[in-house]
A and B are shown apart, each in its own frame.
Chain A
């Protein structure tokens, strides 16, 4: 029925909905704005996207299990405040960085514990821990940011290795590693299994509780990593940092084809989702449009991307 020869653009759009939207946005921006398609601008977009992309990797794991992590932004902020106060009191940088990762991972694990042991839904647990962490960060700092961080830290936000910005390298490496974890390890396969059918997974002898706890640990760990990049970029730690990161990381995952009902999703799609938002963010300023329009555009993109994805799934089901 379908032509297999030549370039079937319809199948392409369905299969790679998010990628097609990204390409479309980039083509349109290149035509309209002479400032868009330059090496400097593309590099800037990649750097600006790095923090949210790193967080979105963890969010993808969580959403694949059918959960949601609303505490990533607050986790990042609290971890930043903790490590920044360690740095300003003279603790060696590497100890601070390890602490940042360990703290954020532990924070995520506590989310997982509350979800699996107390049986409170992920939405509620992470909504609660978000508020708690944000509150602690504000109490610790009285609401003021911590500045005068060590100069070496800026390498994580502004450094370059052979012309490639460090934040971009970090997010690419993290994406490759966690893509491998998701597709080639038992833990990764269990993550999909838990999201597809929790009960069946439990009955086949898999420790679902442990899998869920590990997934929230991964989400926390990546929030901590993103926090280090953010501190390097800003040169300060802010108790209210990352307020938009919860919804933006969920949006990146969803645009990239991750299903909120669980069991479906991949890291590559999420990265494309994060880049679409980065390109729109940048494009609207280049075009001289008020940032309010960008919110409207993001809304359309989220709905379109999910719709394209649903079409693809329905088609797969019909073929079976």
Chain B
């Protein structure tokens, strides 16, 4: 009983986290642009993100904002670019 509950919980959890995106992703054909920054939580790069989103909103596109949490994590930046290439975005900034 407890175990069934647990496995159900695990399932719900994963779906709850991933499902909203599935709905967004269903709308293909729109422009998807990846933005890789040095630090995702820095004020400066959040400003850049807002600008990119505003510009994309005019042409009806979607922005994927990614990068390392902390500055200078070069490995994480490389991974972000690789992942965006596999995602086949229309452009990477």
- Contact code string A1-35 (vs B, CB < 8 Å = 1, else 0): 00000000110011000001100110011011101
Residues of B within 8 A of A51 (CB): 75
CA distance A188 to B46 in the complex (A): 48
Would B3 and A236 count as touching, CB distance under 8 A? no
Would B66 and A48 count as touching, CB distance under 8 A? no
CA distance A244 to B74 in the complex (A): 12
B21 interfacial by beta-carbon distance below 8 Å: yes
Please name the residue on chain A nearest to B7 by beta carbon: A13
Would B21 and A281 count as touching, CB distance under 8 A? no
Would A48 and B40 count as touching, CB distance under 8 A? no
Residues of A within 8 A of B68 (CB): 244
B93 interfacial by beta-carbon distance below 8 Å: no
Q: What's the minimum C-beta distance from A125 to chain B, rounded to whole angstroms?
A: 24
CA distance A283 to B25 in the complex (A): 13
CA distance A14 to B10 in the complex (A): 12
- A contacts with B, residue count (CB < 8 A): 50
- Contact code string B1-17 (vs A, CB < 8 Å = 1, else 0): 01110110011011101
CA distance A25 to B18 in the complex (A): 9
CA distance A304 to B40 in the complex (A): 27
CA distance A296 to B87 in the complex (A): 22
Please name the residue on chain A nearest to B9 by beta carbon: A304
A240 interfacial by beta-carbon distance below 8 Å: yes
- Contact code string A270-305 (vs B, CB < 8 Å = 1, else 0): 000000000001110111111111011100100010
Would A292 and B74 count as touching, CB distance under 8 A? no
Residues of A within 8 A of B19 (CB): 32
Would A291 and B3 count as touching, CB distance under 8 A? no
Would A230 and B75 count as touching, CB distance under 8 A? yes
Selected contact of A243 from candidates B17, B32, B73, CB within 8 Å: B73
Q: What's the minimum C-beta distance from A49 to chain B, rounded to whole angstroms?
A: 10
Residues of A within 8 A of B18 (CB): 28-29, 32, 283, 287
Would A285 and B74 count as touching, CB distance under 8 A? no
27 contacts between A and B (CB under 8 A): A10-B3, A13-B7, A24-B14, A25-B14, A31-B22, A32-B19, A44-B86, A48-B82, A145-B74, A234-B74, A234-B78, A238-B72, A240-B71, A243-B73, A282-B83, A285-B64, A285-B83, A286-B83, A286-B86, A287-B21, A287-B25, A288-B24, A288-B25, A288-B64, A289-B21, A297-B17, A311-B6
